[in-house]
Amino acid sequence: MSKIIDRLRRRKSKECGIAQKEPVHLKIRNWLKVPDNLKLFLMIMAVILGVLIGALVKYLVPEVSSRTATLVGYPGELLMNMLKMLIIPLIVSTLISGLADLDTKSCGKIGSWAMGYYVLTTMMAVILGIVLVVSIHPGSSSIKMDRGTGTLEAGSKPGTLDAFLDLLRNLFPENIVQACTQQVSSRFVNKTIVPTSIKINTTDIPAQVIEVLETHYIDTTNVLGLVTFSVAFGLCIGQMGERGRPMLVFFSIMDECVMRLIRLIMWYAPIGIVFMVVGKIIGVENLADTAQGLGMYMLTVILGLFIHLFITLALLYFAVTRKNPFKFFKGMLQAFFTALGTGSSSATLPVTFSCLEEKLHIDPRVTRFVLPIGATINMDGTALYEAVATIFIAQMNDYQLGIAQLLTISLTATLAAIGAASVPSAGLVTMVLVLSSVGLPVNDITLILAVDWMLDRMRTAVNVMGDSYGSAIVAHLCRNELAALGPPIEVHAEDGKTTVEGVDLIGSNIELTQSSPKTEDEIRV
């Protein structure tokens, strides 16, 4: 009888046009059937499980050897290698294919808006960090006495000017092949000057040891140099017209191949992130003592990153685009949690491209130009962290900072963040410049090393979101110019005869077409 009543109710509801409410478990199951949603769910669970398992193992086994921690984190190391493997082909192919599809005027406007956004948000992050650390005052001399001070590598450190000169050297590399594996870095080295055999009053002149500034190469990708070359190469292809079309086709196909590889790697990413996070947590010595001694410092940095991400950047995005920033953030969750797990904005770059172009439908001509540059020089989280850490060290040394010193920290932290490489813990290296600018002891950096692994991942996630918001804002500001150029060129792999805008491709299975423009409802975030 009850079944008949339910059936009659459903029939009546259909006749009246009332839709039946879908059960929650069916909604969840249908949501997880979408591959991108399943990847996002697995990514979130990977970060949560990594933290829980790592904390539990650390509680049960307080002393874990570095060898064990390295072996536990080995699957995560493989994930990092996979993502870094794609950085060079991704940056080169996206920049060249994106800029070749733009005219010089549009490229200049996009670049101008992007640079203005980078400088503005970085300065806002630094000012926010200074206000928070001065207000909360997490540092005290007792922390330094309890934890002691380590030592850094001996010798003088290059100054702000030297770092700026290195930035320009890396911007214009002398060998583009070498730029794929190495970049320039200045350092002071000791040189012994032995005088010639001249005797004065039969007394030998002793040898002298002096410090000399030398440039050498360090083993990390020179992303800035690759960006410069790719931008120039892409603009040249665009100016060549039809003669440059084959090169545009090549790099567009290369870009599509890289994106397909990214989709495959992201199925392995949750496994790698779990082991990576567990390995980092169990490798920390005296986890409880570290959290107790540096708890307020960590809270200040995390609070600043939270405010900058969910208030500063969100309000800026809403003010420019008049769209919901939290819906935008929802579309970027996969890239956000990838950044939390890997701690590298460059390694997260492939996922960031995927989220912006495929989920949020941001014009690829903007993302391909803005994201590679942003991943290199737009470091909001790093700038905030360096400002907070510098003033925290000053507070531990009972060093009173005046307005002039705070302004110096603001400027130096901004420049250091722009020059920081998009690799894990780069902010810790550039912080030497900020400390030196106001005469603070550089060796005190060792006091915060124990918690840098965690804060590094959080500020990297903010850096990635800052780049993403910037791409959306620039795309909105340049929407008229992009519309005048027509829809962007897209690559589609299909069976059968293949053409490139009407031109046959012999032996190829790729078709280059222009996608139909999205409607406002489709692209609204």
More confident residue, 257 or 426: 257
Across the range 178-184, mean pLDDT stands at 88
Q: Give residue 195's pLDDT band: very low, low, confident or very high (50, 70, 90).
A: low
- The whole-model pTM stands at 0.78
Residues near 122 by beta carbon (within 8 Å), at least 6 away in sequence: 378, 379, 380, 383, 414, 417, 418
Query: Which has the minimum average pLDDT: 3-7, 140-144, 250-254?
Result: 3-7
Query: Which has the minimum average pLDDT: 35-39, 283-287, 351-355, 433-437?
Result: 283-287
Residue 2 lies in a domain: no
DSSP structure class, residue 358: I
Q: Smallest Cα–Cα separation from 285: which of 469, 446, 500, 115? A: 446
Residue 17 lies in a domain: no
Residue 28 lies in a domain: no
Q: Which helix (H) or strand (E) holds 296?
A: helix 295-307
Burial (0-12, 13-18, 19+ Cβ within 10 Å), 35? exposed
Residue 6 lies in a domain: no
Q: Does the pLDDT of residue 10 top 90, yes or no? A: no
Average pLDDT, the chain: 80
Give strand pairing partners of 203: 200
Residue 298 lies in a domain: yes
C-alpha–C-alpha distance, residues 488 and 478, integer Å:
14
Chain centre to alpha carbon of residue 63: 32
Q: Does the pLDDT of residue 162 top 60, yes or no? A: yes
C-alpha–C-alpha distance, residues 170 and 420, integer Å:
12
Chain centre to alpha carbon of residue 93: 19
Query: Which has the minimum average pLDDT: 103-117, 132-146, 264-278, 503-517?
Result: 503-517
Residues 290/450, Cβ–Cβ less than 8 Å: yes
- Give the pLDDT confidence score for residue 506 in this predicted structure: 39
Residues near 266 by beta carbon (within 8 Å), at least 6 away in sequence: 39, 334, 351, 354
Measured CA angle at 144 (ends 138, 145), to 5 deg:
130
Residue 15 lies in a domain: no
Residues 357/386, Cβ–Cβ less than 8 Å: no
Q: Which helix (H) or strand (E) holds 204?
A: strand 203-204
Task: Give the per-residue SS3 of 13-70.
Answer: HHHHCCCCCCCHHHHHHHHHHCHHHHHHHHHHHHHHHHHHHHHHHHHHCCCCCHHHHH
- Give the pLDDT confidence score for residue 508 in this predicted structure: 42
C-alpha–C-alpha distance, residues 290 and 311, integer Å:
29
Token couple for 97? 């294919």
Sign for the pseudo-dihedral over CA of 475, 228, 515, 35 = negative
Q: Give residue 35's pLDDT band: very low, low, confident or very high (50, 70, 90).
A: confident
- Give the pLDDT confidence score for residue 415 in this predicted structure: 77
Residues 39/266, Cβ–Cβ less than 8 Å: yes
SS3 192: strand
For tokens 């391909």, name the residue. 368
pLDDT tens, position by position, 63-112: 888 889 999 999 999 998 998 888 889 889 988 988 887 877 888 889 89
- Give the pLDDT confidence score for residue 87 in this predicted structure: 85
C-alpha–C-alpha distance, residues 282 and 65, integer Å:
9
Q: Give residue 309's pLDDT band: very low, low, confident or very high (50, 70, 90).
A: very high
How many independent structural domains does the chain possess?
A: 1
Q: Give residue 145's pLDDT band: very low, low, confident or very high (50, 70, 90).
A: low
Q: Which of 157-161, 222-226, 243-247, 500-504 has the highest mean pLDDT?
A: 243-247
SS3 389: helix
For tokens 């959080």, name the residue. 458
Residue 333 lies in a domain: yes
pLDDT tens, position by position, 468-488: 999 999 999 999 888 887 777
> Helix 35-60 to helix 245-282 angle, to the nearest 10 degrees?
30
Q: Give residue 284's pLDDT band: very low, low, confident or very high (50, 70, 90).
A: confident
Residue 417 lies in a domain: yes
Q: Does the pLDDT of residue 421 top 80, yes or no? A: no
Across the range 341-370, mean pLDDT stands at 89
User: What residues make up the domain containing 456?
Assistant: 36-523
Q: Which of 266-275, 287-296, 397-406 has the highest mean pLDDT?
A: 266-275
Q: Which amino acid is at 500?
A: V
Q: What CATH number is given to the structural domain containing 293?
A: 1.10.3860.10
